[in-house]
Structure 1
C-alpha cells in the first residue's frame, strides 16, 4: 500500500512540474494564437483555414451581438450616408465638348440605377467590415452595359491541384515576382480574369492577398460585453421579481407553513401538484410583523453601477478599435455630443474621411470599368479616359453652419473660383436636373 501511495505522489509531482508548450500560444479568451509560421504564406500571415474561422466568428457577432451590429451600422451611416455623388466632367485641357460628358453621365446614371448602387455601397461596407473583404464580379453584355454581383469570400479558394503553388495561394493568382499584380481569381474552381473582379480588402498590408474582419482583435471584448449585460439583466430581474422575504426567527417549518397559509389572500394549485399561497399588497401597505418575523426587501440591494462601469470599459476598448467616439458605438449620448465630436480635427472625422476616400477610389475604378465597357461596345470614344474625368463627392461629415457655407460659396462663385456645377454638387443636387426644373418654372 505504501508503494502504491508513493507511486501516486511521484506521478502528481511529475504532472505538477510538466509544462505544456501550447500554453504559451493560448490567449486570454481560451483560444489558441495562430503561429504565423505555420500554414501561412508570404502573401498573408494567416492560413486560409484560420481566416475562415475568424470570418465565421465575426459573422456570428454581426448576427447576434447588438454592439457589433450598431458599430457597423454607424460606420455605414457615416461612410456612405445618403450616397456619394458621381459626376462626369470634361478633363482639364481636353478638347472634348460638354455633350460628351453628358453622354458619359448617362452611362453612369444607368449603371447607378440598374445596380441600385446606393444600397450596394452599404452592403460593400457591411461585407468589408464583417469579412475583411468584398468581391464584386462584373458582367458585360453585347450592348456594353455592365452589371455587378457579389462573390462570397468562401467561394474564392485555391483548387486542390494548385495547393502547393505559392502564386495561387488564398484563391488569388498573382505574378510570380509581384504579389500585388493580380492575374485572376479562382471562384469555385474557375479562374476569372482580374478585370472581371474587383477585390476590396481591409485591415492588412498591400501584399496580403486576403483581408481581416474589422472585429478580429476585439471579438473577446464583444462577447464579454454581451455576457456581462445579460448577467446583469438576469440578476436584476431575479432580485426585482422577489418583492420581500419574511424571516421567521426560531420558527419550525410547520409553523412557517401555517403562518403563510393564514396570511394568504388566495391559493393556486400548480400543474405539478404544488400549492402556492398568494398575498396581495396594495399601494402604501403597512406591515405589522410579530416579534419573531422580520421583513427584508432584496430589491433595495440591487446596485448595477459597478457592473455598468466595467461594461463601459469594455465598450470603450471596442470603440477605440473602431476609432469612434463611445456614443457612436453605444448609442449613449450622455458622455458626448455630436457638435463637440464631429469637428474638422476630430479623430473620428479623420478616420471617416480616410474611409470615404478609400471607397471613392474603389468606386471610381468600378465606374471607369463601366465607361470602358460602354466604349468597347462603340457607345463612347475609345480614348474616353483621356477626355473625361469622373468626380466623386461623398456626404459631408462635419457639422456646419449652412448659412455661412452658402456665403462662402457665393463669394467663391462671384470671384470665379468655383463653378455652378461644383456648388450644386456641394448641395447634394444634380446641376442639369435643377436647370431643367428652373426652366420648367420660368426661372432665369
Structure 2
C-alpha cells in the first residue's frame, strides 16, 4: 500500500511542478532584463516619462545613478571611455585670460589686477584637476554640483556636492516645485530658486548645477552610460567567460582515453606513469603529475588514445561578438572604436580626428559647453572680488574673459603657422592669442626679450612686418 502511495505522491508532485514552471506573471512584460520596471504613465510626474527618463522619483534616480557608478568604477571599457573624454575635452587645460574691452591706457593696471584674481582662483582651487573631475562626474552621474564659498578677502573657493546630498525634505515631498531637491518656480522648471542639500535650503546663487543627457525642463541629469549599461555588462561577462574557458582548456595538458579499461586499471596506470604526487588539503584528493620534456614522443598501447584540448581553443569566434558590443557602446559615446577599446588596428588617427569628423564635432560641442559653464564661474570669481573691494564695481563693463581651448584636430603645424601669420598681418589675430595657441605666456616672453642680447632684439625688429 505504501508503495502505491509513493507513486501517486510522485505523480502529483510532478504535475504541480509542471504547473509552476508554466506559470506566467503578466507583469514580466514590463520588466527589463536588468530587473528595472517600465514607467507607469498613470503615475504623477508623467512629464518625466515623456521626456524619456527612466526614473519617476528620487529613489529610482538613486538606483540608476548607483548602477552606472558601479560600471564606471569596475568596467575597464567604461573607465577607458571616461578617461579618453577627459583627455580630449579638458586636455592639458584651458587658458583663461582677461582682456580690455577698449584700448585705454588707464586699463592696463586693471587688467593686471583681474588676471591676478583669476590666476589666484585657478591655483587655490586646482582648477585643472577640478575640470577633469567635472567631466568625470558628468559622465558618471549625469550631473555635477559646484558650491561657491566666498572669503572676506573676496577669494572664491569651489567644492563639490554629491548628487545624493541634493534631495527633497520629507515635509516638501508633495510639493512639485521642490521635487528632486531642486526648488523652482511653480510654473517654470528652468527658473531655479535654490537647492536642498542635506535637508538645508541653499540659494541658487551659491551653487552651479551642470547636468547632461536630459532636456532643459528636467531637474536632474542622466548618466552617459545608462543606455548601454547592458552592453557593458554583456561585454564584461563575455570577456570573463572567454578567458575562463581558455584558461581551463589550456590548463589541461592532455587527456588519455582508455578504451575498455576498468577504473582500477586506469588508476594504476596513472600511478605508474606519474613522476610526482601530492595531497591537496583543499580538495582532499591526491594529485599526480607527469613531466614531459620538450620533444617527448608518446607511444600509446592498444586501446589508449591521447587528446590535446588546448588545440581546440578558438577565441576568435567570440571576439567578433565582443567587437560588435563594443561598437554599439562606442556609437553611444560618438567616439571612434579605437578611442573606446584602445584597439588601433581598425582605425587611423589622422582619418578619424579630422575637422569634419563626428568625434571632433562631438568633442567641440562638449568643449563649448564646458567653456560656457566655466565662463560663468570666472565671472562669479571676478564679481566676488569686486564686491570685496579688490576690483572696481564696473569691472564687467571694462574687461572680458577669453578662454582658449586645446586643439582637437590633427595638426599640420607648418600650415597652421602660415594661416596664423596671415591673420596676424591682417590685424585679425593678436600676439597674445597667438602666444596662447603656441602654449606660451605672452607677458613672460616679452620679459624674456628684454633680457636678450642687442643682436637678437635687432633681428626681432627687422623681422616684424
- For Structure 1 versus Structure 2, the TM-score category normalised by the shorter chain is over 0.9
Please identify, of 153-162 and 18-27, the stretch whose mean Cα deviation from structure 2 is larger: 18-27
Do structure 1's residue 24 and structure 2's residue 29 form an aligned pair?
yes
Q: Say how many residue pairs are matched.
A: 440
Query: Following TM superposition, by how much is the alpha carbon of 1:380 offset from its aligned partner in structure 2, in angstroms?
Result: 1.2
CA distance in 2, matches of 1:137, 1:419: 35
The structure-2 alpha-carbon separation of the partners of 1:94 and 1:15, relative to structure 1 and needing over 3 Å to count, comes to farther
Q: Secondary structure at the match of 2:227?
A: helix
Counterparts of 1:25-44 in structure 2 under 5 Å? 25-35=30-40, 37-40=42-45, 42=47
Please identify, of 108-117 and 266-275, the stretch whose mean Cα deviation from structure 2 is larger: 266-275
Do structure 1's residue 189 and structure 2's residue 199 form an aligned pair?
yes
| Residue aligning to 2:325 | 314
CA distance in 1, matches of 2:246, 2:38: 36
Contact 1:91 1:389 (8 Å CA) reproduced: yes
Q: Secondary structure at the match of 2:260?
A: coil
Contact 1:90 1:389 (8 Å CA) reproduced: yes
The structure-2 alpha-carbon separation of the partners of 1:94 and 1:158, relative to structure 1 and needing over 3 Å to count, comes to farther
CA distance in 1, matches of 2:275, 2:251: 19
CA distance in 2, matches of 1:230, 1:411: 56
CA distance in 1, matches of 2:312, 2:21: 45
CA distance in 2, matches of 1:117, 1:92: 29
Do structure 1's residue 345 and structure 2's residue 356 form an aligned pair?
yes
Counterparts of 1:242-257 in structure 2 under 5 Å? 242-257=252-267
Do structure 1's residue 108 and structure 2's residue 118 form an aligned pair?
yes
Contact 1:137 1:196 (8 Å CA) reproduced: yes
Q: Secondary structure at the match of 1:167?
A: helix
Do structure 1's residue 130 and structure 2's residue 135 form an aligned pair?
no
Do structure 1's residue 241 and structure 2's residue 246 form an aligned pair?
no
Q: Secondary structure at the match of 1:334?
A: helix
Do structure 1's residue 367 and structure 2's residue 378 form an aligned pair?
yes
Query: Following TM superposition, by how much is the alpha carbon of 1:428 offset from its aligned partner in structure 2, in angstroms?
Result: 2.0
CA distance in 2, matches of 1:12, 1:274: 40
Do structure 1's residue 50 and structure 2's residue 55 form an aligned pair?
no
Give me the CA root mean square deviation: 2.4
Counterparts of 1:123-202 in structure 2 under 5 Å? 123-202=133-212
Q: With structure 2 as the length reference, what TM-score do the two structures score?
A: 0.89
Deviations 1:227-267 (A, max 9, x none): 11001001100000001111111111121122222222223
The structure-2 alpha-carbon separation of the partners of 1:14 and 1:115, relative to structure 1 and needing over 3 Å to count, comes to closer
CA distance in 1, matches of 2:432, 2:184: 42
Contact 1:95 1:387 (8 Å CA) reproduced: no
Query: Following TM superposition, by how much is the alpha carbon of 1:160 offset from its aligned partner in structure 2, in angstroms?
Result: 1.1
The structure-2 alpha-carbon separation of the partners of 1:121 and 1:230, relative to structure 1 and needing over 3 Å to count, comes to same
| Residue aligning to 1:327 | 338
| Structure 1: gaps (5+ residues) | none
CA distance in 2, matches of 1:54, 1:279: 53
Choose the corresponding residue for 1:405, options 410, 416, 427: 416
Contact 1:94 1:387 (8 Å CA) reproduced: no
| Structure 2: gaps (5+ residues) | 458-465
CA distance in 2, matches of 1:105, 1:305: 57
Please identify, of 427-436 and 64-73, the stretch whose mean Cα deviation from structure 2 is larger: 427-436
CA distance in 1, matches of 2:287, 2:170: 67
| Residue aligning to 1:391 | 402
Query: Following TM superposition, by how much is the alpha carbon of 1:441 offset from its aligned partner in structure 2, in angstroms?
Result: 3.7
CA distance in 2, matches of 1:129, 1:316: 18
The structure-2 alpha-carbon separation of the partners of 1:121 and 1:293, relative to structure 1 and needing over 3 Å to count, comes to same
Query: Following TM superposition, by how much is the alpha carbon of 1:209 offset from its aligned partner in structure 2, in angstroms?
Result: 0.6
Please identify, of 121-130 and 258-267, the stretch whose mean Cα deviation from structure 2 is larger: 258-267
Choose the corresponding residue for 1:438, options 420, 441, 449: 449
Q: With structure 1 as the length reference, what TM-score do the two structures score?
A: 0.93
